Structure 1
Amino acid sequence: MLKRILIVDDSEMTRRLISTAIRRFGDIEYEEAKDGFEAIQKLATKEFDLLFVDINMPNINGLELIDYCKQSDHYHAIPIVIISTEDSLKDQEKGLALGAADFLMKPIQLDRLIEVIKHTIG
């Protein structure tokens, strides 16, 4: 069954790294969003099985996006993986408390990224 992932990060390099890893899986499509506002627009048009969400983004930040999704009747069940830097440990804790399933530390390690995808949506 085809799975769909939404990558939400204002860093093009991070989005490219994650999309490269996703391409290793034949049955996963992905879309990208540069901030939380764009992510909300994409959520309204398609169903996603997993979200990768950066914490520090313009407009709607990652914590606000996680809270929005987890409070929504439509999006609350979508697993969310936080993407953050080591110096944002408090934000990681807040994201997990809001309902995120896991987190990836920047710079993202490819093996860990693939492990998270397999574990989260198999």
Structure 2
Amino acid sequence: MEDKFQNLKVMVIDDSKTIRRTAETLLQREGFEVITAVDGFEALSKIAEANPDIVFVDIMMPRLDGYQTCALIKNSQNYQNIPVIMLSSKDGLFDQAKGRIVGSDEYLTKPFSKDELLNAIKNHINT
């Protein structure tokens, strides 16, 4: 990966341990610092200390789902400029539209590939 992407912090929020581990491994191999969270509540507490450059968030999670988490990030003055990429096993237009309404910057369907993750980062990080 290009040097300009070194030291970027990527947050992955997903209640699936497999998805978190997969994304974390793929991204760490490319030189990213990866912060993971199991749900929106844990993510919101970690965002303040980690200050990620981009966030990938699963839609279907217990307690605080991806839409609610995205809306909270985008409605925060401190974090509204962080790109938020929705992750979902559903690829329906309704889900994509709902993601746009709450402020998501992109929508990836699971299972995602390494290239899809990296392209999303390239498309939304302006260094």
Q: TM-score, normalised by structure 2?
A: 0.86
| Unmatched tracts of structure 1, length 5 or more | none
Summarize the alignment of residues 40-59 of structure 1 with structure 2, pairs less than 5 Å apart. 40-59=44-63
CA contact (8 A) 1:83 1:105 kept: yes
Percent identity of paired positions between Structure 1 and Structure 2: 38
Cα offsets for 1:65-99 (capped at 9, x unmatched): 01101111111000000000125542221112221
CA contact (8 A) 2:41 2:64 kept: yes
Higher alpha-carbon deviation: 17-26 or 100-109 = 17-26
Summarize the alignment of residues 8-47 of structure 1 with structure 2, pairs less than 5 Å apart. 8-26=13-31, 28-47=32-51
Q: Secondary structure at the match of 2:22?
A: helix
Cα distance between partner residues in 1 of 2:7 and 2:24: 16
Cα offsets for 1:87-112 (capped at 9, x unmatched): 55422211122211111101112221
Q: TM-score, normalised by structure 1?
A: 0.90
Cα distance between partner residues in 2 of 1:103 and 1:87: 9
| Unmatched tracts of structure 2, length 5 or more | 1-5
* CA shift for structure 1 position 25: 2.0
Question: Quick check: which one's strand share is greater?
Answer: 1
> What is the one-letter code of the residue matched to 1:76?
Q
CA pair 56-89 structure 1, distance change in 2 beyond 3 A: farther
1:114 to 103, 113, 118: 118
Q: Secondary structure at the match of 1:73?
A: coil
User: Aligned pair 1:81/2:85, yes or no?
Assistant: yes
CA pair 78-3 structure 1, distance change in 2 beyond 3 A: same
CA contact (8 A) 2:70 2:104 kept: yes
* CA shift for structure 1 position 17: 1.5
